[in-house]
Structure 1
């Protein structure tokens, strides 16, 4: 364990604690410092503080950086569909059925297991279990996901997600015929009190959530839509489309109990991903074609 101690000078007064620490050691990212604060490794005058604490002259700051955990996630030679890769980021077209990172019941076969075999230089901000992972998409959602290869890239991409400047377009097939061409769903999402494994639209312990949708094609009893995320809450598109009465086809959690089509999981694909590159500061946009099973579903609906 490494230990550090500083005393706040008059010039540093009123600076946010997380921002101040990054100026004291430029090798630490602000995201990493915030994690140390939340985990109680940083104290001010022997007391834990929040990340937005503003320091006072004479404050004594101590930071005890824990030793790195032993890497327990095993690298696995799993083929990856890589849309883009450089020294800072990897953009992967994740297949349906692949979990993003290890969790109880999914210790292997995840995107992280595959990434660790493919490259050794993933960012460490999210720790051993989720190295490089900036955002997630559900196991049975296919499509594009961005991964950071160093802490600078990770912090940049996270800040863009927070600022809502990334571009994330999804294609989905829903039950019912949506009667208008475009719409916006602005409804907060939180944990469902009746089912802790599910999310729901609720005012209690929720976070704001905004989804914009465009109708691409209509069928007798279904609609093919494009959804654009303004926020990125757990199960957001699935919850929002159910909320307005058009649940996703094949969704085992939020859709009809009766299975109508031969498709595993929800008909949802992360088709477009855009962000400002952390190093070049130029906007980059990537597209991934629909997986075969969604193409087959659309063909079936068009020919019914």
Structure 2
């Protein structure tokens, strides 16, 4: 793999070593290979690693097979992929409902396999959506950018907004749910609010409109616990319509959709904002 990355104006001043170690998050072993093989060029020339990077510089990185061993997975059906954004490093697609983000074993075909077929190379999961949930989801196109995107996710710099149609009316237009979430001891498929042993979870809820006896809400996540929105809303007696685990109101699908995804591109610092549509979600609303 070879990448040439222009240094944008807004990137803080740093050395080549700091760029590779602290910003690109390249592992120590791979940084050693890059250095000994002279696989780091600045404006086409080899440089000392303490040299200061300037805005407008072109950083070229060459990775060998031993740096990132090639990973191969079965390819799916490229025709099942709806692209929302793509560049050299990552792709955002619109996941349909009733499809897993990735398989539970290497031979199982899921969205990851379809995206890999669409891109023409093995891709990598950055975050997940429940099988029943539709909407915008991000995949890395190479192992170099994967830890960078993971850090953005951990630092809450990837913003995701979900739409949910849930039971009942809310007393407030905006609320923040902070119930800790843990495993259900009686059903391994489910999660529950567990104030003692659960993990911290924060969901911001905004009521958009009343639809009959139900409410359409927008939810933003500060954390990414399994079934977080579903568990939080169900705990507040506002279970999502069509939820097979937490609701007693059936629907053709789980009425939860990842409507938008925003991030700042780690290399260009461009603002990326995509909107994902869902005919099946909109039809039921």
TM-score interval for Structure 1 and Structure 2 normalised by the shorter chain: 0.7 to 0.9
Q: How many residue pairs end up in the alignment?
A: 230
- Is residue 100 of structure 2 the alignment partner of residue 113 of structure 1? no
1:88–1:279 contact (8 Å) kept in structure 2 = no
* CA-to-aligned-CA distance 1:187-224 (integer Å, 9 cap, x gap): 11111111111111113442211000100001331000
- Taking a change above 3 Å as real, the CA distance of residues 186 and 73 of structure 1, as seen in their structure-2 partners, is same
Partner Cα separation in structure 2 for residue 143 and residue 167 of structure 1: 13
- Taking a change above 3 Å as real, the CA distance of residues 249 and 180 of structure 1, as seen in their structure-2 partners, is same
Give the corresponding residue for 1:93: 94
1:177–1:219 contact (8 Å) kept in structure 2 = no
* CA-to-aligned-CA distance 1:66-106 (integer Å, 9 cap, x gap): x9697453443442100011101100011111111112598
Give the corresponding residue for 2:283: 296
Give the corresponding residue for 1:280: 268
Larger relative contact order (Cα-Cα within 8 Å, sequence gap ≥ 6): 2
Partner Cα separation in structure 1 for residue 237 and residue 195 of structure 2: 19
Q: TM-score, normalised by structure 2?
A: 0.73
**Matches of residues 1-304 of structure 1 in structure 2 within 5 Å?**
22-26=27-31, 71-103=72-104, 107-108=108-109, 110-122=110-122, 131-256=123-248, 258-259=249-250, 261=251, 263-264=252-253, 266-289=254-277, 291-298=278-285
Partner Cα separation in structure 2 for residue 234 and residue 27 of structure 1: 37
Give the corresponding residue for 2:43: none
1:152–1:278 contact (8 Å) kept in structure 2 = no
2:26–2:144 contact (8 Å) kept in structure 1 = no
Unaligned runs of 5+ residues in structure 1 are: 1-19, 29-64, 123-130, 299-304
Q: TM-score, normalised by structure 1?
A: 0.69
* CA-to-aligned-CA distance 1:234-267 (integer Å, 9 cap, x gap): 11100110011100000000111x52x4x12x10
1:177–1:221 contact (8 Å) kept in structure 2 = yes
Q: Over aligned residues, Cα RMSD in angstroms? A: 2.7
2:191–2:231 contact (8 Å) kept in structure 1 = yes
Partner Cα separation in structure 2 for residue 144 and residue 104 of structure 1: 23
Partner Cα separation in structure 2 for residue 228 and residue 86 of structure 1: 26
Q: Kindly state the Cα deviation for residue 142 of structure 1 after the two structures are TM-superposed.
A: 0.7
1:84–1:92 contact (8 Å) kept in structure 2 = yes
SS of corresponding position for 1:254: coil
Unaligned runs of 5+ residues in structure 2 are: 1-24, 34-65
Partner Cα separation in structure 2 for residue 243 and residue 198 of structure 1: 13
Partner Cα separation in structure 1 for residue 280 and residue 171 of structure 2: 26
Partner Cα separation in structure 2 for residue 237 and residue 269 of structure 1: 11
SS of corresponding position for 2:135: strand
1:89–1:146 contact (8 Å) kept in structure 2 = yes
Q: Kindly state the Cα deviation for residue 297 of structure 1 after the two structures are TM-superposed.
A: 1.6
